[in-house]
C-alpha cells in the first residue's frame, strides 16, 4: 500500500517502512569498537530525539563505503535512517558530493511514503549524515 506523503490525515505506514523498522539495516550497537572516518550527531527540535551517524569513506573515490547509525527516535526515524544508510552505500557507495545533497523527500520516496506529521523524523538521518561528512572533511583537510 502506498502512502501519499502529502496526505495530512494518513497515519498508515507502508510495507517498506515496516520492513525497515522491524529489521533496521546498518544499525550500530557498539560504537566503542567501530572506527569511523566521520561522525554526525543531531537532535530534533520538534521532538527532542537524537540521531547519531558514523561513516567510513573511500578517500580516493570520495565515496561512502559504510554508514552506521543509532537513534533514540521513533519508528519513522528508524525506518528513514535505515533506508538512508542503504541509499548512501548501495552501488559502490554514494559520492560525498551527492550524499550532501540527499533530501528527506528522496528517502521518503524510497520508503513509499511517510505520514506527513512524521516528516521531521526523516530529516534527522539526512542532517546527521551531512554532519558526519563535514566531520570527515574537517578531519581530512577537506
Ligand atoms: S517523533 Fe522524534 S524522531 Fe520521530
What does the DSSP 8-state code read for residue 60? T
- Told to judge if 121 belongs to the known catalytic residues of this protein, a careful annotator would answer yes
Question: 54: CA distance to ligand 1 center in Å?
Answer: 20
DSSP type of residue 31: G
Nearest to 130, CA basis, from 81, 90, 91, 92:
81
The number of distinct structural domains making up the chain is 1
Please report whether residue 7 resides in a domain.
no
Cβ of 111 less than 6 Å from ligand 1 = no
Angle at 49 between CA 44 and CA 53, to 5 degrees: 85
User: Best mutation site among 114, 121, 126 for ligand 1, i.e. most ligand atoms within 8 A of its Cβ?
Assistant: 121
45 lies in which domain range?
15-139
Task: Assess whether the C-beta atom of 73 lies below 6 angstroms from ligand 1.
Answer: yes
Query: pLDDT of the chain along its 142 residues, tens only?
Result: 454 554 445 668 999 999 999 999 999 999 899 999 999 999 998 899 999 999 999 999 999 999 999 998 999 999 999 999 999 999 999 999 999 999 999 999 999 999 888 999 999 999 999 999 999 999 987 6
Summarised one tens digit per residue, pLDDT across range 47-78 is 999 999 999 999 999 999 999 999 989 999 99
Nearest to 69 by CA among 79, 59, 58, 57: 79
Instruction: Tell me which residue of 84, 115, 82 sits closest to 14, measured CA to CA.
Output: 115
Measured between alpha carbons, how far is 22 from 128 in angstroms, rounded to an integer? 22
Q: Is ligand 1 within 6 A of the CB of residue 125?
A: no
Spatial separation of the C-alpha atoms in residues 83 and 108, rounded to whole Å: 9
Residue 123 forms part of a structural domain: yes
Question: Would you say residue 3 lies in a domain?
Answer: no
126, part of any domain: yes
Alpha carbon distance 109, 84 (integer Å): 11
The verdict on residue 8 lying in a domain is: no
Q: Evaluate whether residue 10 is within a structural domain.
A: no
State the CATH number of the domain containing residue 113: 3.90.1010.10
- 20 inside domain: yes
* Residue 63 located in a structural domain: yes
Backbone φ and ψ for 128, nearest 5 degrees, come out as -65, -35
As given in the structure block, the three cell numbers for residue 141 are: 583537510
Active-site annotation holds for 74:
no
Amino acid at each position: 500500500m502506498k502512502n501519499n506523503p502529502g496526505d495530512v490525515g494518513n497515519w498508515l505506514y507502508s510495507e517498506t517502512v515496516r520492513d525497515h523498522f522491524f529489521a533496521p539495516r546498518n544499525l550500530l550497537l557498539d560504537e566503542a569498537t567501530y572506527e569511523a572516518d566521520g561522525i554526525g550527531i543531531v537532535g530534533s527540535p520538534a521532538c527532542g530525539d537524537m540521531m547519531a551517524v558514523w561513516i567510513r569513506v573511500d578517500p580516493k573515490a570520495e565515496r561512502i563505503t559504510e554508514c552506521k547509525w543509532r537513534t533514540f527516535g521513533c519508528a519513522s526515524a528508524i525506518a528513514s535512517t535505515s533506508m538512508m544508510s542503504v541509499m548512501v552505500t548501495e552501488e559502490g557507495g554514494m559520492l560525498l558530493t551527492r550524499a550532501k545533497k540527499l533530501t528527506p523527500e528522496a528517502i521518503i520516496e524510497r520508503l513509499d511514503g511517510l505520514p506527513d506529521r512524521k516528516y521531521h523524523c526523516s530529516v534527522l538521518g539526512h542532517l546527521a549524515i551531512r554532519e558526519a561528512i563535514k566531520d570527515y572533511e574537517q578531519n581530512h583537510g577537506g
